[in-house]
Amino acid sequence: GEDVEQSLFLSVREGDSSVINCTYTDSSSTYLYWYKQEPGAGLQLLTYIFSNMDMKQDQRLTVLLNKKDKHLSLRIADTQTGDSAIYFCAESRDTGRRALTFGSGTRLQVQP
Amino acid sequence: ETGVTQTPRHLVMGMTNKKSLKCEQHLGHNAMYWYKQSAKKPLELMFVYNFKEQTENNSVPSRFSPECPNSSHLFLHLHTLQPEDSALYLCASSQDQGGATNEKLFFGSGTQLSVL
Average pLDDT score over chain A: 90
**If you average pLDDT over each of A25-29, A91-95, B21-25, which comes out highest?**
B21-25
Closest chain A residue by Cα to residue B106: A44
Q: How confident is the model at residue A31 (pLDDT cuts 50, 70, 90)?
A: confident
Residue-level pLDDT at B68? 96
Tens-place pLDDT, residues A36-91: 999 888 999 999 999 889 999 999 999 999 999 999 999 999 999 999 999 999 98
Residue B14's nearest CA partner among B88, B107, B115, B109 is B115
Q: Which residues 13-52 of A have a C-beta within 8 angstroms of B? A: 30-31, 33, 35, 40-45, 48, 50
Provide mean pLDDT across the span A84-112.
Answer: 86
Interface test with A, best of B105, B107, B111, B112 (most A CBs within 10 A): B105
pLDDT in tens, B30-74: 999 999 999 888 789 999 998 888 888 888 999 999 999 999 999
- The percentage of chain A sitting over the pLDDT mark of 90, rounded to a whole number, equals 71
pLDDT at A94: 64
Q: Looking at residue A21, what is its pLDDT?
A: 97
Best B101, B106, B109, B111 residue to mutate vs chain A (most A CBs within 10 Å): B101
Answer yes or no: do B42 and A30 touch at CB < 8 A.
Answer: no
B94 CB burial (10 A radius; 0-12, 13-18, 19+): buried
Residue A5 confidence class, pLDDT cut points 50, 70, 90:
very high
Listed in sequence order, the residues at least 6 apart from B40 whose beta carbon sits closer than 8 Å to its beta carbon are none
What are the residue ranges of helices labelled H in B8-116? Answer: none
Given a cut of 70, whether residue B1 has pLDDT beyond it is no
Chain A residue closest to B55 (CA)? A97
Residues contacting A104, CB < 8 A, separation 6+? A2, A4, A5, A6, A8, B41, B42
Q: Please state, rounded to an integer, the average pLDDT across all residues of chain B.
A: 90
Burial of B61-78, coded b for 16+ CB within 10 Å and e otherwise, reads eeebebebeebbebbbeb
Residue B13 near residue B89, CB atoms below 8 Å: no
Distance between B89 CA and the closest CA of chain A, angstroms: 10
Torsion A91-A25-A107-A102 (CA) sign = positive
The whole-number pLDDT of residue A36 equals 97
**Pairwise CA distance, residues B45 & A56, whole Å:** 27
Judged by CB atoms closer than 8 Å, whether chains meet at A45 and B106 is answered as yes
> What confidence score (pLDDT) does residue B100 get?
52
Q: What is the DSSP letter of B100?
A: -
∠ CA B26-B27-B33, rounded to 5°: 90
More confident residue, B20 or A28: B20
| pLDDT at site B8 | 97
Res. A2: pLDDT tops 60: no
- Do residues B22 and B113 touch, judged by C-beta distance below 8 A? no
